[in-house]
Amino acid sequence: MAANVIIKSEERRQQEAYVLEQFGKGGGNASREAREAAECINARTQEAYKELCKMEGRR
């Protein structure tokens, strides 16, 4: 059985740490659920940002 492992870039780790800090969960005291939520928030934020950049490039 293979493990589901995501290897994250340093930039992604920093972005997720920022999200955790904004929700008061920084400093390594975040629960597994909080880290997972930060990961989702960061992923959706980055998707929206990329889409916005594409839309602005068309103008």
Q: What is the pLDDT of residues 15-35, one digit of tens each?
A: 999 999 998 887 778 899 999
Q: What pTM value is reported for the model?
A: 0.74
CA distance 54 to 22: 27
Q: Average pLDDT of 5-12?
A: 83
Average pLDDT of span 3-17: 84
Q: What is the pLDDT of residues 40-53, one digit of tens each?
A: 999 999 999 999 99
Instruction: Phi first, then psi: give them for residue 12, nearest 5 degrees.
Output: -65, -40
Query: Other C-beta atoms within 10 Å of 32: how many?
Result: 7
Q: Say how far apart CA 21 and CA 10 lie, in whole Å.
A: 16
